[in-house]
Amino acid sequence: MSQQTAPATNTSSAPPPPLSLPAGVPENTTNLVKTPQTPATAAKPPLPRATRATPRPTNATSSASITTGKRSTPPGNQPSAKRLHNLLPVRPLAASAPRENAVPREVFLLTGGVTLAPIAPHLPPHIITAKPTRKNSWVIAPFRNSARKDGLTFSHWTRVGAPSDSAFARFNKQIKMITYSKEEYEKYLKNLIPLADAPKGEKERPNTNAKLPKSERNDIHNILPQAAWTKEETDTLFSLCRRFDMRFPIVHDRWPTSLSPRSVDELKDRYYSVARRLIDVRTAADPSYVSKQPLAIQRHAETIIKNQFDYEYECVRKNQLEWAYRRSKQELREEEETVRKARRIEANRRRIHKERQRLAKLLAPTPEIAADTARQTAIPPKLFPHRKHTTGAFARSTMIYAQVSNSAKVAKRVDAALIELGIGLRPTPTALVVDNFDLLRMDILAFMELARTVQRKEEEVHQLRCKLAKLKGDPPPPAPPGISISNKKRKADESDIASLFGTTS
């Protein structure tokens, strides 16, 4: 807008607007032109601001200011300035006494008489009117697009000496495809069975429902049997593939209605099986067939041979995806719940298995201790996981001090057991003694674990005894020594005993 108002400076009689119009301020030009406000009305003492605001038309745009600028309004009549002042908190100029560089009183009060610099930059006239210095090098020239086959010629503005071919022609990439001749079609492709109906056995398909009869399986997974392909269909498929760069969804979309309808997967299946058959046949005739082809075809052929398109699998996959997509929130929740349950069951099973293994180890018959321990040497070092076997010098006694367990509590109990067994914590540290000492400590650890397991089992059996006694109506059996029952259970038992005593006494 600032530039648009700039021509106003050419009409030197009109002072520059004291404030440039803010963008988007509506200005009614029609009103301005048709009913110019008389000086008398403009000179009226200003009304209170709220009432003064005239209803502003909304359809006018900011471009109206162009008109304002270009129209050299008489200096005595400045409706635009007046309107502007209506909008701004500035007292309007007295229209009858135009003053050069008049500063409104309020502005004067604010600025202290310093004239406001116009916000719109004033471009010097010589810049605005300057002619381009460079010689015009643009011409209208005819051009062709080499992507077009019809050689249609258009003209466009272009630099002198620009190439006559369209700059966009290079984007016209033509897909390279494997094609077939009529003879080849008759010979190899006419009776090509769609992959989905080909006899099984050549390839394992990751199909989960392999045990089901085929028709049933196909129903479940929405696998539709394919109708036999005609030459017309195949030709259409190949031409559409070429036209749409083998984007099969588009090919499917443009599939002519005159032909029998085909699904995207059927189209893919047909294309890939034909291409595969062609490559097979041609490679059989000439082993270096593929390597003679352009690079794009080579890659394409390699991909086709390496990854067979599996129509059936593709149907199943899409069906499953569709099914997964259409699940309701509730089904989703149920499924998550099932997964969680399965995970829990699995964890439980693993835990039980581990427990069983541990028990089996504990309950394995203990080997007879060699009568002559002095001969027992060369104990595998892996028996003592707590010890670091390093190179270098060390005092043998450090092997005895090494803790048998990482847990301080367990190590303490092992020490107590050693003292109880009359060994003490500091036997003579010779190699043999150290080895036997370690064996003993491992035995103690195993024994402690066994003792704990037995105790747990005893607790369990005791609880079962109590349960059975309750069922029979007998008094609960006394707890075996050293068996602790959970607090709640103990309380219940005590109350039972109390009631029992109550009835007997």
Q: State the residues that interact with other proteins by CB under 8 A.
A: 362-363, 366, 369, 373-374, 389-397, 421-423, 426-433, 436-437, 439-440, 443-444, 446-447, 450-451, 453-454, 457-458, 460-461, 464-465, 467-468, 471-472
Helix (H) or strand (E) holding 76: none
Q: State residue 485 phi and psi, 5-degree precision.
A: -110, 160
First to last CA, the chain: 111
CB atoms within 10 A of CB 229: 22
Q: Which is nearer to other proteins, 30 or 398 (CB)?
A: 398
Q: What is the C-alpha separation between 370 and 376, in angstroms, rounded?
A: 7
Q: What is the C-alpha separation between 500 and 492, in angstroms, rounded?
A: 12
Q: Which is nearer to other proteins, 54 or 373 (CB)?
A: 373
Tell me the closest approach of the beta carbon of residue 200 to other proteins, in angstroms: 49
Tell me the closest approach of the beta carbon of residue 300 to other proteins, in angstroms: 59
Q: Which is nearer to other proteins, 344 or 426 (CB)?
A: 426
Give the pair of three-digit tokens for residue 302.
């390699």
Q: Which is nearer to other proteins, 47 or 370 (CB)?
A: 370
Per DSSP, which regions of 289-368 are E strands? none
Tell me the closest approach of the beta carbon of residue 399 to other proteins, in angstroms: 8
Tell me the closest approach of the beta carbon of residue 497 to other proteins, in angstroms: 21
Tell me the closest approach of the beta carbon of residue 388 to other proteins, in angstroms: 11
Tell me the closest approach of the beta carbon of residue 431 to other proteins, in angstroms: 7
Give the pair of three-digit tokens for residue 262.
């085909």
Q: Which is nearer to other proteins, 264 or 439 (CB)?
A: 439
- Cβ(390)–Cβ(364) under 8 Å? no
> Which residue, 231, 281, 233, is CA-closest to 257?
233
Tell me the closest approach of the beta carbon of residue 420 to other proteins, in angstroms: 9
Give the pair of three-digit tokens for residue 112.
């202290």
Tell me the closest approach of the beta carbon of residue 433 to other proteins, in angstroms: 5
Q: What is the C-alpha separation between 325 and 272, in angstroms, rounded?
A: 28
Tell me the closest approach of the beta carbon of residue 347 to other proteins, in angstroms: 24
Q: State residue 157 phi and psi, 5-degree precision.
A: -75, 130
Q: State residue 294 phi and psi, 5-degree precision.
A: -60, 160
Per DSSP, which regions of 168-224 are E strands? none
> Which residue, 261, 237, 231, is CA-closest to 251?
237
Q: Which is nearer to other proteins, 202 or 420 (CB)?
A: 420
Helix (H) or strand (E) holding 38: none
Q: What is the C-alpha separation between 219 and 211, in angstroms, rounded?
A: 14
Helix residue ranges per DSSP H, 170-288: 182-184, 214-220, 231-243, 248-253, 264-285
Q: Which is nearer to other proteins, 290 or 445 (CB)?
A: 445
Q: Which is nearer to other proteins, 262 or 441 (CB)?
A: 441
Determine whether 280 is exposed, middle or buried from the number of CB atoms within 10 Å of its CB (0-12, 13-18, 19+): middle
Q: Which is nearer to other proteins, 352 or 369 (CB)?
A: 369
Q: Which is nearer to other proteins, 200 or 452 (CB)?
A: 452
Q: Which is nearer to other proteins, 280 or 443 (CB)?
A: 443
Helix (H) or strand (E) holding 155: strand 153-159
Q: Give the strand pairing for 153-159 and 138-144.
A: antiparallel
Tell me the closest approach of the beta carbon of residue 419 to other proteins, in angstroms: 11
Tell me the closest approach of the beta carbon of residue 496 to other proteins, in angstroms: 18
Tell me the closest approach of the beta carbon of residue 409 to other proteins, in angstroms: 20
Q: What is the C-alpha separation between 438 and 436, in angstroms, rounded?
A: 5
Handedness of CA 103, 105, 107, 110 (dihedral sign): positive
Handedness of CA 178, 183, 188, 191 (dihedral sign): positive
Q: Which is nearer to other proteins, 365 or 502 (CB)?
A: 365
> Which residue, 8, 90, 3, 76, is CA-closest to 42?
76
